[in-house]
Amino acid sequence: MTPTKTDFLIIGSGVTGLFLALKVCKLGSVTIITKKADYESNTNYAQGGIAGVFSDSDHVEEHIQDTLTAGAGLCDPEAVRILVEEGPSKVRELLDIGVPFNKDSQGNLDLGREGGHRKNRIVHAMDRTGREVENSLLEAVKSQPNIEILEDHACVDLLTRHQIPDGDKLYPLRCYGAYVLDTSDGEITPILAKRTILATGGAGQVYLHTTNPSIATGDGVACAYRAGAKVKNMEFYQFHPTSLFHEHGNSFLISEAVRGEGGILRNHLGHPFMIDYHEMKDLAPRDIVARAIDNEMKKSGQPNVFLDITHRSPDFIQSHFPSIYEKCLSLGIDISKEPIPVVPAAHYMCGGIETDLWGKTDIENLYAAGEVSCTGVHGGNRLASNSLLECLVFSDRIAMDIKNSGKIDFAPESKFIPKWNKEGTSNAEEWVLVAHDLYEIKSIMSDYVGIVRSDLRLLRASRRIQLIREEVKNFYDRTTVTPGLLELRNLALIADIIVRSAIMRKESRGLHYSTDYPENRNPSREDTILTT
């Protein structure tokens, strides 16, 4: 099909993509592509809230210190300061847009506390903050005539000099847009853009158990890596300590806010075990809590632990955690009377595409923000509720950088980008055989590259993932492109990147815990960087 053009191509429709679209639509036309419905994103599944300094009893330096402490000595201090100082004004913009954040009886923001925070600073909308933010931003975006949202569209690959004949010899490395698959009819079209922004979220589907939606398949990192961008610190994958353990729970997230309001983790004997692991007990940083749960499960042989909030009144529980209460009750668990069975699940990708403090990658005209990026704010472990904050702050900074860059034109060589060539491909009957690779990837990553790792496990995982990648590549090269095949291709690459990154880090730090190396929390800027 004939290439289409837009000033700004945003890949992803979570809070990063939507907030950025509202900022740049005044500068030109905006096209947002999203794999599923416009509201389907990691943002929509975020229960907890957004961290920020809004109270007179709290201070910027305290939020910074909590972030640095949680990050296990690997955070970029300058990036953290930008996050904390610029964050509150962006949250107030959400208030102006209409996000219904909870307020107290005096009309002030009702501030909660979550793991790793030493002050109450979490702005929330009941236990469905992400959904409320997403809905409010979508409503605002849809009122702007300069923004087009293409649902059921997936990025196949970024457009760079690699697609232009002799382009690697003739042109610098810059992004011209993307090949985009319309999943409704199977057509692949080049969308040319003056600026392309990756806002695709994480890759939780690389593990068997995840709190992420099915679309979280690492597409942005995989596409950027194939195009030649640097990816950084991908060994740091955060496991949320408390996802619901139930055969029909689908790894439903039990928000950090439950512990923030007094929830106590207990083992199968009823012992409140976090007192044995950290001075902050149940409100310790996530990496510590997840490892503690993992250790308790291994010691007891039990498949889960329990989160107990029964000491709070039923009215309090139902008013503060309506979604969690209703979900658990639908599965026969009354959380006002019995503890919640929980287990850690893959939750957040702390590494990602390397960017500067303005969201720029090392590919000209390509930006990234949110979970897909690695700005340095999370280090070796993300502090609770800093994720949506990062989305807001760095999407705003991308918009400022674009605005300050002056007049923008299409790169002249973009006219040489070819149409998608699907000759020689067909729908293969052996798809079921290759689809088995997806389950194998998830199993390998969960068994060998999870909360606790070792050199032996990582090397075993590496050998198997490499074989799967070869199978998937061979299949991809001779098969008609489908959404499932794109996701399998991306997840195989993401798994390989995570494993290689983990092998390179010869220490235990934050979310990367190896039985072969002692833990290190001294400040360090030793990043793990991979590129093609």
147 vs 141: CA distance, rounded Å: 7
Q: Which two tokens stand for residue 419?
A: 């149409």
Q: Is 286 a known active-site residue?
A: yes
**Residue 96, CB-side half-sphere exposure with 13 Å CA sphere:** 7
Residues in CB range of 171: below 8 A, 6 or more apart: 161, 164, 413
Q: Which residues of 408-427 are buried (b: 16+ CB within 10 A; e: fewer)?
A: eeebeebebbeebeeeeeee
96 vs 12: CA distance, rounded Å: 23
- At 518, give phi and psi (nearest 5°): -70, 155
Contact in structure between 22 and 51 (CB atoms under 8 Å): no
257 vs 254: CA distance, rounded Å: 8
Q: For residue 420, what is the DSSP state?
A: P
Give the residues across from 159 on adjacent strands: 177
141 vs 313: CA distance, rounded Å: 40
As a whole number of angstroms, the longest Cα–Cα distance in the chain is 69
63 vs 84: CA distance, rounded Å: 7
Closest CA to 438 of 475, 406, 479, 388: 475
Contact in structure between 196 and 31 (CB atoms under 8 Å): no
Contact in structure between 183 and 34 (CB atoms under 8 Å): no
Distances (CA, A) of 393 to 197, 325, 407: 15, 32, 23
Contact in structure between 336 and 314 (CB atoms under 8 Å): yes
12 vs 151: CA distance, rounded Å: 10
33 vs 11: CA distance, rounded Å: 5
Give the residues across from 157 on adjacent strands: 179
Return the beta strands (E) in 375-514 as ranges: 452-453, 513-514
Angle (CA) 308 311 313, round 5°:
120
Q: Which two tokens stand for residue 101?
A: 């954040």
Catalytic residue from among 286, 382, 457, 505: 286
H-assigned helices in 45-76: 60-70
Catalytic residues: 286
